[in-house]
Amino acid sequence: MNKNINLAILASGSGSNAENIAKYFETHPHIQVKEILSNKANAFVHERAKQLDIPSFTFSKNEFQDTSFIKRLEDIDYIILAGFLWLIPKYLVKAFPNRIINIHPALLPNFGGKGMYGENVHKAVIESGIKESGITIHLVNEEYDKGEVLHQAKCEIIGDDTAESLVKKIHVLEFEHFPRVIEEYIQSRN
């Protein structure tokens, strides 16, 4: 791989995955996190970006829906969605074909789709009584949680697990797998 690859991370919340990804690529010879973008001005991910010395920006719904948003991504090769809650507009999916990667905190195709984000996912999983959950890292197309799956990893759900304890188990899996899967996917295409 001889070209430098720039990543933009989109995150709506705390940004622990964004931070983990940024740290993973800090010393990478070819791949780096160029910017972190959020739809929320007060998201903690901006604090993390500051600590990491990575520029971060906030955008509104209108800005995101407008094709001129692409100008902010001029130097970007791949978009990483790390806890980003909005549907990606069609123009952006077309501009980044197979170059947008999302992480979903459950084993798709179950517990995915509109409304299935954050706590909602873990509550639904616990209420269903199933004995395992996990993460799905997948490409993004025009429908929520429907793009090609790149990787899944599982964890066990035991009797006294709650949505809160499941969040912790899921984060462990996300930290372990997400950066590596991003790296392997990009390297396989470049």
Catalytic (active site) residue 138: no
Q: How far is the CB of 89 from ligand GRF (least distance, A)?
A: 18
Q: How far is the CB of 16 from ligand GRF (least distance, A)?
A: 3
Give whichever of 35 and 174 is closer to ligand GRF, judged by the CB atom: 174
Cβ within 8 Å of residue 125, ≥6 positions away: 106, 111, 133, 157, 163, 166
DSSP string, 59-117: --HHHHHSGGGGGGGTT-SEEEESS--SPPPHHHHHHSTT-EEEEESS-TTTT-STT--
Give whichever of 14 and 98 is closer to ligand GRF, judged by the CB atom: 14
Q: Which two tokens stand for residue 111?
A: 């517990």
What whole-number distance in Å separates Cα of residue 145 and Cα of residue 114?
Answer: 8
Q: How far is the CB of 41 from ligand GRF (least distance, A)?
A: 15
Q: Which two tokens stand for residue 139?
A: 């490409």
Give whichever of 81 and 93 is closer to ligand GRF, judged by the CB atom: 81
Annotated catalytic residue: which of 30, 46, 104, 122? 104
Residues near ligand GRF (CB under 6 A) are: 11, 13-17, 82-83, 103, 105, 117-118, 170, 174
What whole-number distance in Å separates Cα of residue 139 and Cα of residue 132?
Answer: 23
What whole-number distance in Å separates Cα of residue 111 and Cα of residue 119?
Answer: 12
What whole-number distance in Å separates Cα of residue 93 and Cα of residue 21?
Answer: 22
Q: How far is the CB of 85 from ligand GRF (least distance, A)?
A: 8
Which residue minimizes CB distance to ligand GRF?
A: 83
Give whichever of 101 and 170 is closer to ligand GRF, judged by the CB atom: 170
Name which of 77, 59, 71 is nearest 4 in CA terms.
77
Give catalytic residues, as residue numbers. 104
